[in-house]
Structure 1
Amino acid sequence: MVCSILRKLSASLFACALMTPVLMTPVTAAAETYPSRPIELVVPYAPGGASDIIVRAMAPFLQKEMGQSIVVINRAGANTAIAATQLARSPADGYTLMLGDVALLLNAAVRTASPGYDTEKDFTPVSQIGSAPLVLFVPFAGSRTVDEFLARGKDRGVNIANAGPGSLGHLAAELLQLKTATSIVSVPYRGSGLAINETMAGQVDATFTSTASGMPLVKSERLRALAIASATPSKEFPEIPTFDQLGIKGVYALNWWGIIGPAGLDKAVVDRINLALKNVMALPEMRERFAALGITPSLKPTTEFAAVMKNDLTQWRTVVQQAKIKVD
């Protein structure tokens, strides 16, 4: 009788052992078949900008790598906060992704109220794909060096145009002021195009903007590039000194672009997307497109990308607090 009971118990335990993996790993099972339907790739800006160009250039190649359609959706508004908030509320299944940039963090750093999401809890940083530092540009007839520009600032103050309150250019100017004790007034405009036009016209003393926007105007002698806000010199424009090289340490203002998903994405899904991105970013067509936009391809998988986001958020929150910036 004892043997009979033991046999029944063993059979029950064996049955449970067979059933347990099925009951406990539905997410993993879904991840193993990922992707099995079209993937939405959200652009948090209107059509026509750098983020939109990047996604639409990547989509055909990414579609081929993933074996599923890539549906590009433009969801503009609130400096990316509308798209980011919806992403945070999406299922963590890998079928809704977004091309994020540094604005995702700046919203959290500068706003007194929540932007609608928590950058550290609501997202899975899948992979950074590119980056581009800002450059301090002045009118061609303006200051010829950073020393001359800062001397003017300490003498009478200078105006630096930006693309709007809380933009990367705004915070870069505030950071420069903190590092140099120069009197700088940040002048917000509706977009970087207007800020650049006013700088060319001499209505303001300078603007921080991208190499893609500014360097063609340097070649046509309408702007002058004084310094680049990165830790290392630009490979594309080695003639522009870094602030570090000029003895002004720690003026870093780097925009980046990366694929982001909702929090809780399965590792197998993240790995699958990363493999596809690695193959896509190795294509000459993509590297040429990035170069045309002034963006350096820089693949950084989840752990490294998460560290970039964390460090940037800390940096810009510190600048916001020290400069007493408030954007509602």
Structure 2
Amino acid sequence: MILPRVLLIRFAMAVSVFTTALLPLAAQAAAQSWPSRPMRLVVPYVPGGATDLVSRIVGEQLTARLGQQVVVDNRPGATGTIAFTGVAAAEADGYTLVTTADSLTVVPFSYRNLKFDPRTSFAPISTMSTQPLVLAVHSAVPARNVKEFVALAKTRSLSFATSGTGTSQHLSGELIKKMTGIDMVHIPYKGGGQAIIDLSGGQVPAAVLGSSTVIPQHKAGRVRILAVTSKKRSAVLPDVPTLDESGLKGFDVYQWTAMLAPAKTPKAVISRLNTEINAILRHPAARDKLHAAGFEAQPSSPEEVSKLIADGMARWGKLIQELKLDLR
């Protein structure tokens, strides 16, 4: 009885080793045949906002290059946490992706008991775009520059709109308040698309929003952009001064978008996506569309995305602590 039992154990061990050896080969084969069906690109925000627009421009080009449909799926709510939670738990096969904005780096400070970690629950693929935020006012507001705006805010009660609580726009507004000594009431919206409607209609006097969201209304004369938040002037708005130039020395904030996949997505799939997205962003077809919409194309490596996420969490976490902001 002992001998057959020993043989059975050895046989089971051999099967286990053989099966384990086959797993990487199976994963490699699956990656090589990818994509064999449509992919879902989840956007954590409402249609019409900056992240949605970038996703559709890049998604359209990815469809053409990969030969499979990239379906943009808007899943707004709770500053993106609904979408991020779903994607983090999705099968890591390369068929579920998510576009994120820099606001992902603020989410851990806004919600308790998250079911994902921005640093470990996703496989970064590439950044796609950058844009500065802008400080803008309704055209009827009697302020044509930051100095006049600050003076006005010290004589009357003002409010500022953003795309939501705990976004980089919200925190940039709080930083403006801190650096100028003014007090403004924050009015959060469910996305930049809704905020710009009320700003252009005069329901709110001011806003801190992504430049791409504001530029059309700025050109139409309904709103006035006072400054961009990046340290350098924007190539899209070369005549608009920076907040740094306007007296808020050292102010440097910009909004980025990036594409992520669930953690443990095959490296071959991540590499292929990175190659395709970088090629798309360097081609005039997508680059010019992004520029016309107010963005600058920003290809990168997965490692650079990881650094952006880690640096953003460190920066905003420090500011939230300094200002004693309760985002929860």
Structure 2-normalised TM-score?
0.83
Corresponding residue of 2:43? 43
Q: Indicate how the Cα distance of structure 1 residues 23 and 102 shifts in structure 2: closer, same or farther if over 3 A, else same.
A: closer
Note the residue ranges of structure 2 that are not aligned, 5 or more in a row.
Answer: 1-16
Shift of 1:273: 0.6
Residues 147-174 of structure 1: CA deviation (Å, up to 9, x unaligned): 2222334455643222332233221110
CA contact (8 A) 1:101 1:255 kept: yes
Shift of 1:175: 1.2
Corresponding residue of 2:302? 302
Q: Indicate how the Cα distance of structure 1 residues 18 and 216 shifts in structure 2: closer, same or farther if over 3 A, else same.
A: closer
Which of 69-78 and 206-215 deviates more? 69-78
Which 4+ stretches in 1 moved above 6 angstroms? 17-20
Report the Cα distance in structure 1 between the residues aligned to 2:73 and 2:194, rounded to whole angstroms.
Answer: 27
SS at match of 2:71: strand
Aligned residue pairs: how many?
A: 312
Corresponding residue of 1:139? 138
Shift of 1:146: 1.3
Q: Indicate how the Cα distance of structure 1 residues 246 and 57 shifts in structure 2: closer, same or farther if over 3 A, else same.
A: closer
Structural mapping, 1:2-17, within 5 Å:
none
CA contact (8 A) 2:46 2:190 kept: no
Residue 269 of structure 2 is aligned to residue 277 of structure 1: no
Report the Cα distance in structure 1 between the residues aligned to 2:200 and 2:48, rounded to whole angstroms.
Answer: 23
Q: Indicate how the Cα distance of structure 1 residues 220 and 55 shifts in structure 2: closer, same or farther if over 3 A, else same.
A: closer
Report the Cα distance in structure 2 between the residues aligned to 1:144 and 1:73, rounded to whole angstroms.
Answer: 39
**Cα RMSD, aligned residues only:** 2.9
* Partner amino acid, structure 2, of 1:305: V
Q: Indicate how the Cα distance of structure 1 residues 91 and 216 shifts in structure 2: closer, same or farther if over 3 A, else same.
A: closer
Structural mapping, 1:34-183, within 5 Å:
34-111=34-111, 113-140=112-139, 141-154=141-154, 158-183=158-183
Note the residue ranges of structure 1 that are not aligned, 5 or more in a row.
Answer: 1-16
Structural mapping, 1:230-309, within 5 Å:
230-309=230-309
CA contact (8 A) 1:172 1:251 kept: no
Residues 34-82 of structure 1: CA deviation (Å, up to 9, x unaligned): 3344322222234444434433333343133224343333333323211
Q: Indicate how the Cα distance of structure 1 residues 318 and 20 shifts in structure 2: closer, same or farther if over 3 A, else same.
A: closer
Shift of 1:206: 1.9
* Partner amino acid, structure 1, of 2:289: R
Q: Percent identity?
A: 34
Q: Indicate how the Cα distance of structure 1 residues 19 and 81 shifts in structure 2: closer, same or farther if over 3 A, else same.
A: closer
Structure 1-normalised TM-score?
0.83
Structural mapping, 1:11-30, within 5 Å:
22=22, 25-30=25-30
Shift of 1:199: 4.2
Corresponding residue of 2:4? none
